[in-house]
Structure 1
Amino acid sequence: MPYEALTEFVGATAKEFGIPGAAVGVWMDGREVYACHGVTSIDNPLPVDKDTLFQLGSATKTFTAVALMRLVADGRVELDAPVRRYVPELVLADERTADEITVLNLLNHTSGLGWNIIVDTGDGDDALASFVAKLAELEMIGEPGARASYSQAAYNLLGRVLENVTGLTYEQAIASLLLEPLGLSNSFFGSADVMTLRFAVGHNADEEGNLAVAKEWRLTRGNNPGGGLASSVADVLAWARFQLGDGLTANGEQLLPAVLLHRMREQTAPLRGSNLGDGFGICWFLREVDGVRTIEHGGSANGQFVELLIVPERNFAVVAMSNAGPDGIAFNRSAVRWALEHYLGVVDKDPEPLPYDEARAREVVGAFENDAMTLTVAIDGAALTIAATIKPEIRAAADFEMPADYEPAALGLLPGDGDEFIVTAGGLRGQRGFFSRDASGAIAAIDLGGRIFNQVPTASA
């Protein structure tokens, strides 16, 4: 394995993207290798090593999903059962939908729930219960099972399933069901645990483009099931090794039946026009890259990013972590692609966009929104651009610092008649999506990052 080459690549690429600190781990041929670069913080720098804690963001969802599968294995939860069997207190804007959503709908993002509610329900043990009590305020984007649309709220609701079924808090349930038996001793939810160890802080660019420490280090406790775990590259690589096995712990305990662990890699819902994958398994994004099948999940917090990719058929895994936005995403993707190519000979390339076509461009311009963000597609000279902004009312209502917006960046339409596109510059570079049309053929919505954003009606509409 080219250890020195990985170290050189990580160092050079982190400098290219302006990343203060990064950690990359690779598992192949029964061996692990790590390359770490830079510092935990530009204000209070410590060297990043393989045990440095980073925020996992949405990669936490993989832990929530496997914990649920442990309850399935024990007969305590059924995938096709309505969620209300386990969370009878659930109230949604559409009561009929509340009766129909299943546990599997939550796990594979087909629940019809919108992305999330931006609310801080405190740090008490009732944080998740209080979050679920507010779900009646969340918009519905479709019927359960009709289509996939990535939902943070769905996984926070799954956390409440874990609490009600086990009688533990979500964090206690994850510790007892997964972290402790797998020996993941460097993975934590609580700030009090993290602050005694070496941990990375996020960084975002200020108005002058200079990096500054992101002051809000962690998400709210009510968001823990969808994005609250802090862990090290070594622990996440150990987590990946468990996914590559047959459900056994290091000491031979059958933590999860192999049939259920491997079932999580089987497609349960299709995804279209997404760089994240071709479909969802149970939580995992499924993708084919240069002829090999991968399972993947990424995550982002405030100025921190992680990417985990696993190739089961080649007993291979790679983890990349970085602590600056928005280019941490690009760094992680570059590191994962480098590892795929240099260790497996697998080349992951972005599709080439079509030349600019003004007639097609004018069809797709407009503003699109979900419950928290707005995407704006516009024409800038002879190019399409896309910007992603958090809604002003969401920023105003939040009592914590939120990540910076994504400034307008080039967007290119892709070949074919599916209205698919790729972002070719900026912090969203490499992100793919597609436009949806209504019955009349007019553009009605946009999908990006596995999430749907509906078009905002114009004043004349």
Structure 2
Amino acid sequence: MSLTQIDLEKKLAELIDQHRVPGAQLAVLDGDTITEVAAGVLSIRTGSPVTTDALFLPGSIGKLYTATLVLMLVDEGLIDLDRPVRSYLPDFEVRDTHARDTVTVRDLLRHTSGFDGDVFIDTGRGDDALPRYLDAIRDLPQIAAPGSIWSYSNSGFSILGRLVEVVGDTVFETALRDRLLAPLGLQQSVVFAEDAIPHPLSVGHEPDPEDPDSHVVSNPWGLYRSCGPMGASLVASAGDVLRFALLHLDGGVAADGTQLLSEELVAAAQVPQVSLVDDTVLGEAWGLGWILDHFGDVAVIGHDGNSLGQNAFMRLAPEQRFGFCLQTNVESALAMYRELADWLFSQRLGVSLRQDPAALPTRVVDDPDRYVGTYRREGVSFEISATGDGSLVAGLHVTHAAAEMQSMPPMDDLPLVPVERSDSFLLRVPIADSDLLAVFFNPDDATAAPTYLHFGGRAHQRI
């Protein structure tokens, strides 16, 4: 069944009302046609309506642009995916010297470096923002041996951004504009806030601390320049995000026929590199930059993005040449995304997105002591405790800089709901609008006591 612009407009308007999202933008690819619709307002402060040419913060969807720049340098013979990063960046340092010397470019692209990843540091607005960032993370701690587990790493992509600068003899934003945005003809994509001023522009929204059922405008608007390769540089419309993604559906060929990336590397980027343990949060595996998943029997690629008060999602079925990009101006729109993705893919392809394992009828855990303890990564700590009836609760303490920019409510005594999968639970945190899968695991011995808690795409090491 084909979906008309009227169908999409009606559905988007229904969803933002149902999920209390101030504004949203949706672009849907079907064959060679991209249909763009919009609903709601860009800002509750101004009431300006969302338009299809408005710019949002796609957040970490921008990591796909960084990955593409790296792969273009691989194509040119300037980077080898399996060489250590330090062979290109001699000044690269992290706390663990073995990781410093052995982490490869491939490890960074697939998030298997093993070092902590959510370090957001303001290193200034100058062209030296990334070299200064690398200097600031010289003591970045290790939570696992390189290549041993998957854990989402923002820091790894700022390192890749610096790699683009050094190997390409440029600055990151220049490479992004000159090598991708301009050749792809992306007119609603910019890289700095001041570039966005001439465009209709979305601002972020977060819960009002005095009335959590209402929103206030997020302040500040975006992250630091040092976070650019993590996705903070990109400001774009949903339609432009899909027009970028077409490069990876068309074998690396731009709309004007220019071969920007080899067909071989486009295909390689969509080959599973590592499986994910919390596979319903993002997908079942990771490629070279891409989330990889299946909706039913349909292979799907994509990426999600969070910025300050904005949340974006993109999923594509390459073989069927169908998919979408949803951009919202609220900090958590996961429930809206899931409902939209399920509707789009069931209507068009007859498949549904991956579901969480079903909750068990009781919260009582047979061996709660197996899980009790503190699990930590840089800026985030989980305290897992057992209650008197044998169930588990989590306390979450977040201290990294991105969290400090937002109003974080208390996150204590959060119930862990056992599901029909061993060592797995559903957990709802107050800053999210959906349950997320929390998985306890031991990469060395699945039957032994867990040594990690995986939640929100990140591994937290048991202390």
Mapped pair 1:266 → 2:271: yes
Counterpart position of 1:219: 223
| Among candidates 326, 329, 336, match of residue 331 of structure 1 | 336
| Among candidates 59, 63, 66, match of residue 65 of structure 2 | 63
| Among candidates 193, 196, 200, match of residue 194 of structure 1 | 196
| Among candidates 98, 113, 116, match of residue 114 of structure 1 | 116
Counterpart position of 1:314: 320
Mapped pair 1:402 → 2:403: no
SS for the counterpart of 2:80 is coil
Instruction: Return closer, same or farther for 1:244/1:16 CA change in 2, 3 Å cut-off.
Output: same
* Shift, 1:365, TM fit: 4.5
Counterpart position of 2:81: 79
**What is the one-letter code of the residue matched to 1:442?**
A
Unaligned runs of 5+ residues in structure 1 are 457-461
| Among candidates 390, 396, 419, match of residue 398 of structure 2 | 390
Mapped pair 1:345 → 2:350: yes
Query: How far apart are the structure 2 equivalents of 1:292 and 1:332?
Result: 18
Query: How far apart are the structure 2 equivalents of 1:211 and 1:74?
Result: 47
Q: How does 1:353-432 map to 2 (within 5 A)?
A: 353-360=359-366, 362-363=368-369, 364-377=371-384, 384-386=392-394, 388-391=396-399, 394=400, 401-402=405-406, 404-405=408-409, 407=411, 410-417=415-422, 419-423=423-427, 427=432, 429-432=434-437
Instruction: Return closer, same or farther for 1:413/1:107 CA change in 2, 3 Å cut-off.
Output: same
- Whether the 8 Å CA contact 1:361–1:379 is kept in 2: the answer is no
Counterpart position of 2:453: 446
- Whether the 8 Å CA contact 2:93–2:139 is kept in 1: the answer is no
Query: How far apart are the structure 2 equivalents of 1:350 and 1:111?
Result: 27
Measured against aligned partners, the alpha-carbon deviations of 1:369-402 in whole angstroms (never above 9, x if no partner) come to: 21012234456897655554422xx45xx79723
Instruction: Return closer, same or farther for 1:336/1:381 CA change in 2, 3 Å cut-off.
Output: farther
Mapped pair 1:30 → 2:32: yes
SS for the counterpart of 2:365 is helix
More off after superposition, 381-390 vs 351-360: 381-390
More off after superposition, 25-34 vs 196-205: 25-34
Query: How far apart are the structure 1 equivalents of 2:436 and 2:198?
Result: 36
Query: How far apart are the structure 1 equivalents of 2:409 and 2:65?
Result: 28
Instruction: Return closer, same or farther for 1:141/1:221 CA change in 2, 3 Å cut-off.
Output: same
Mapped pair 1:287 → 2:293: yes
Unaligned runs of 5+ residues in structure 2 are none
Query: How far apart are the structure 2 equivalents of 1:322 and 1:92?
Result: 35
Query: How far apart are the structure 2 equivalents of 1:340 and 1:237?
Result: 16
Instruction: Return closer, same or farther for 1:361/1:385 CA change in 2, 3 Å cut-off.
Output: farther
| Among candidates 117, 125, 128, match of residue 126 of structure 1 | 128
Counterpart position of 2:41: 39
SS for the counterpart of 2:25 is strand
* Shift, 1:251, TM fit: 1.0
Counterpart position of 2:302: 296
- Whether the 8 Å CA contact 2:34–2:239 is kept in 1: the answer is no
* Shift, 1:338, TM fit: 1.7
More off after superposition, 110-119 vs 276-285: 110-119
Normalised TM-score (structure 2): 0.91
How many residues align? The count is 450
**What is the one-letter code of the residue matched to 2:183?**
P
Counterpart position of 2:253: 248
Counterpart position of 1:305: 311
* Shift, 1:30, TM fit: 2.2
Normalised TM-score (structure 1): 0.92
Counterpart position of 1:459: none
Instruction: Return closer, same or farther for 1:325/1:410 CA change in 2, 3 Å cut-off.
Output: farther
* Shift, 1:416, TM fit: 3.5
Counterpart position of 1:88: 90
* Shift, 1:350, TM fit: 3.1
| Among candidates 266, 278, 284, match of residue 278 of structure 1 | 284
